[in-house]
C-alpha cells in the first residue's frame, strides 16, 4: 500500500501543491501543524497503520520533519515496520543504501538551513529593536475569519481542549484563549 503524507504548518496554508505532486496514493494522511513537532496526529496514525512492504511517500523531507533526529527516528520506524520511504523532490528511496545515505545528508542540511534562518531572524530583530523599528507582533494580528472561523466554532463546540485547538489551527494556546474570549463576547460560542 502507498501511504502519502502531506503537511502544512498553519491554517492559512494549502495542501494543493503537495496533493498535485503525487496521484498514486492508496491513502493520504494530512496534518496541519509545524514540522518541528513530532507529535502529529496523522503522522502517528500513518506510522501505526504501516504494514510490511508499504511505501510512505512525501513531497519533500521538510514535510516529514524539520529535525534531523526526528527524521531519522521516523525513517527508522518506517523501516522497522518493513516499509520504505520515498521523497519525491529529491528522488530518494530508502529501499536502497544510497537512498538511506542521501536521506541522512539532506536531512542534516535542511536542519542546518532552518537553524541559520532562525539565527538571521534573531539578528534582524535585535538590529530592528536597537533602531527602534521593531516593537513586536501587533496584538490580535492572528485573525480568525471565514472557513477557519466556522471550523474553530465546530471543533470548540465538539469539546476540543485548548491544546488540541492550538495544534489543529497552528497557533499558540494564548491565541486560542483570545479567540474564545472574543467569540464569547460576540455570543458566537
Catalytic residue, chosen from 9, 30, 34, 67, is: 9
* Domains in the chain, number: 2
Mean pLDDT of 60-86: 89
Whether the CB-CB separation of 57 and 5 falls below 8 Å is answered with yes
What local confidence, expressed as pLDDT, does residue 83 receive?
96
Given CA atoms 143, 148, 149, 151 in this order, what sign does their dihedral have? negative
What local confidence, expressed as pLDDT, does residue 2 receive?
96
* More confident: 158 or 88: 88
The question of whether 9 is a catalytic residue gets the answer yes
Domain end marker among 76, 107, 138: 107
What local confidence, expressed as pLDDT, does residue 68 receive?
77
pLDDT at 139 over 70: no
Confirm whether 66 is domain-assigned. yes
CATH number, domain at 101? Answer: 3.40.50.1390
Write down the pTM of the prediction.
0.58
Task: Give how far Cα 136 sits from Cα of 66, 129, 140, Å.
Answer: 25, 9, 12
pLDDT at 142 over 70: no
Residue showing cell 492550538? 166
Amino acid at each position: 500500500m502507498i501511504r502519502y503524507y502531506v503537511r502544512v504548518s498553519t491554517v492559512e496554508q494549502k495542501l494543493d501543491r503537495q496533493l498535485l505532486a503525487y496521484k498514486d496514493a492508496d491513502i493520504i494522511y494530512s496534518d496541519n501543524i509545524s514540522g518541528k513537532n513530532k507529535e502529529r496526529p496523522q503522522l502517528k496514525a500513518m506510522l501505526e497503520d504501516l504494514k510490511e512492504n508499504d511505501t510512505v511517500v512525501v513531497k519533500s523531507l521538510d514535510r516529514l520533519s524539520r529535525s534531523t533526529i526526528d527524521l531519522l527516528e521516523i525513517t527508522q520506524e518506517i523501516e522497522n515496520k518493513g516499509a520504505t520511504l520515498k521523497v519525491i523532490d529529491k528522488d530518494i528511496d530508502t529501499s536502497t543504501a544510497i537512498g538511506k545515505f542521501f536521506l541522512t545528508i539532506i536531512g542534516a542540511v535542511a536542519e542546518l538551513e532552518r537553524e541559520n534562518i532562525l539565527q538571521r531572524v534573531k539578528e534582524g530583530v535585535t538590529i530592528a529593536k536597537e533602531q527602534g523599528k521593531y516593537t513586536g507582533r501587533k496584538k490580535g494580528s492572528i485573525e480568525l475569519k471565514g472557513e477557519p472561523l466556522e471550523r474553530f466554532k465546530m471543533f470548540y463546540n465538539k469539546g476540543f481542549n485548548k491544546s488540541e485547538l492550538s495544534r489543529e489551527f497552528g497557533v499558540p494556546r494564548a491565541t486560542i484563549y483570545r479567540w474564545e474570549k472574543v467569540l464569547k463576547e460576540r455570543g458566537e460560542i
